[in-house]
Amino acid sequence: MDADRAATAQEFDRALSLLREAAEAQPDDPSILLRLAGVNRAAGRPRVALEAVSAALAITPLDFTALLLKASLLDRLDEPSAGEAWGHAIAQKPDGPLPPQMASVLSEGVRKHAAWLDAREARLRAGMAALEARADEEQQQRIARFRSNVLRRTRPYHSEPTHFHYPGLAEYEFHPRSRFPWLDELEGQTDLITAEVNALMASEGAELVPYIQYADHLPMQQWKALNRNRDWTAIHLLDKGRLVEANARHCPQTMTLLKRLPQPDLPGASPNAMFSLLAPHTAIPPHVGVANARLVCHLPLVVPDGCWFRVGAETRNWRRDEAFVFDDTIEHEAMNPTDQLRAVFIFDVWHPDLADVEREAVKALMAIDGPPATAVP
C-alpha cells in the first residue's frame, strides 16, 4: 500500500525500493512483480519493466494481465516479437467485461495483432508463390490450409465419431472431388432430381418427418431446439437401410442413380438418402456423425444466397448443382439465414480408403453391436 501511494504521487524511486523489498521477501508472488513492472513503465523504464513482467510470467505463464502488459511493453519498444505477444494475450482473455482501460489496450492489441498476421501472411504468400504455381488445385488447397494453420487463422480438426471409429482413414473436411468420379454424373442430374422431389412434395402420400427425432431422456441437449421440430425436415428415400416406399416411388430415376453409387449396406444404419429441407432463419448446431467408415454427399437443389455449411475450419456456401463429399464425423454446422426454404439431396457413401474386406468387417461389427440409440442420421 505504501508503494502504491508512492507511485500515485509519482515518487517512483521510493515505490520501486519498497516493491523490491517486498519481492525479496515474497519471491513467488507475481502480483508484486507486476507492480514493479507497472511502476517502471510509468517511470519511463520499459526494458526494466519488461524484465519484471517476464519474471511474473515465469511464475504464472498464462496470466492475462501480465501477457497484456508484456505485449504493450514490447510494442512500445518496437520489438519484432510484439505481434506474436499480442496473440498470446488475446488467447488468454477472460470471459466477461474488462475494466475500461484494459479493454482499450486489448482493443488496440487486437488491431495490431491482425496487422501483424496480415503482414506475415503476405510475406509467406510471396515467398511461396513460385512453388504454389507448380502445384495442382488440390495441392494448392492443402498448401493454403498449411499456411493458414501456421498463422493460426485455422486449426486442425479431426474425425471424432460418436460411436464407430475405423483407424487409418484419410481425414478431410471436404474430400477432394478426384476421389469420387461419379460427382459429375450426379450434378448432371440436378434438374431431374429437383423435378422428382417437387412432384413428391406435391403428392398427398409424401412422408415428411422432422430430421431430428429422439426420446427426451437421451443425452443430446444440443438438439433440444430441433427435436421433432419441422424447421428441419427430411423426406427419406432410404432411412437406415429401409426403403421408404411412400417417397421412393415418386423418385424412380433418383433411386436408379443411387443404385450406381457406393452406398454402405449396414443393417439398421445405412444406406441413407433423403431430401433435407431447412426452414428460413434456422441453424443446425455443431455436431459430429456416428461412423467415419462412411462419408456424406450433398447435392444442393434449392439454395437461396447466403446459406452456408461449415465442416471443421472450412465454410462453404451451398450452390445449386455443386455437389461435395464431406466427413460428417468432423465437427460441422449449417445455417439458413434467408427468408426462403433450403433443399439439399443428402446420401451416404463408403469411405474410399476401405478395402472390400474392411467394408465387410465394418458391416459385421455393426450388425453384432447394433445401431446406436442416440445416432443422428
Position 13 scores a pLDDT of: 65
**Parallel, antiparallel, or unpaired for β 308-311 and 273-278?**
unpaired
Mind listing the pLDDT tens digit for each residue in 162-196?
Answer: 899 999 999 999 999 999 999 999 999 999 999 99
Q: Print burial letters for 111-142: b (CB count within 10 Å at least 16), e (below 16).
A: ebbeebbeeeeeeeeeeeeeeeeeeeeeeeee
Confidence band for 8, pLDDT divided at 50, 70 and 90 = low
Indicate whether 109 and 181 sit together in one domain: no
Confidence band for 202, pLDDT divided at 50, 70 and 90 = confident
Q: Is 139 part of a structural domain of the chain?
A: no
Position 133 scores a pLDDT of: 96
The DSSP element (H or E) to which 294 belongs, if any, is strand 294-302
pLDDT(11) > 70: no
Q: How far apart are CA 48 and CA 12, in angstroms?
A: 13
278/207: higher pLDDT: 278
Indicate whether 111 and 181 sit together in one domain: no
pLDDT(352) > 50: yes
Residue type, 20: R
Indicate whether 11 and 112 sit together in one domain: yes
**Cβ proximity of 205 and 241 under 8 Å:** no
CATH at residue 68: 1.25.40.10
Indicate whether 88 and 6 sit together in one domain: yes
Domain end residue (candidates: 92, 116, 140): 116
Phi-psi region of 221 (alpha: psi -120 to 50; beta: other; left: phi over 0): alpha
Using alpha carbons only, what angle is made at residue 293 by residues 290 and 296, rounded to the nearest 5 degrees?
70
Q: How far apart are CA 215 and CA 4, in angstroms?
A: 61
**Global pTM value:** 0.81
Look up cell 471409429; give the residue: 165
CATH at residue 192: 2.60.120.330
Q: Average of pLDDT values for 153-167?
A: 94
Domain end residue (candidates: 83, 101, 116): 116
pLDDT(161) > 70: yes
The total number of structural domains that make up the chain:
2
Mind listing the pLDDT tens digit for each residue in 251-272?
Answer: 999 999 999 999 999 888 899 9
Query: Which residues constitute the domain of residue 232?
Result: 177-369
Domain end residue (candidates: 116, 142, 161): 116
Report the SS3 class of residue 367.
helix
Position 262 scores a pLDDT of: 97
Residue 264, φ and ψ in degrees, nearest 5: -65, 150
Q: What is the DSSP string of 111-153?
A: HHHHHHHHHHHHHHHHHHHHHHHTS-HHHHHHHHHHHHHHTTS
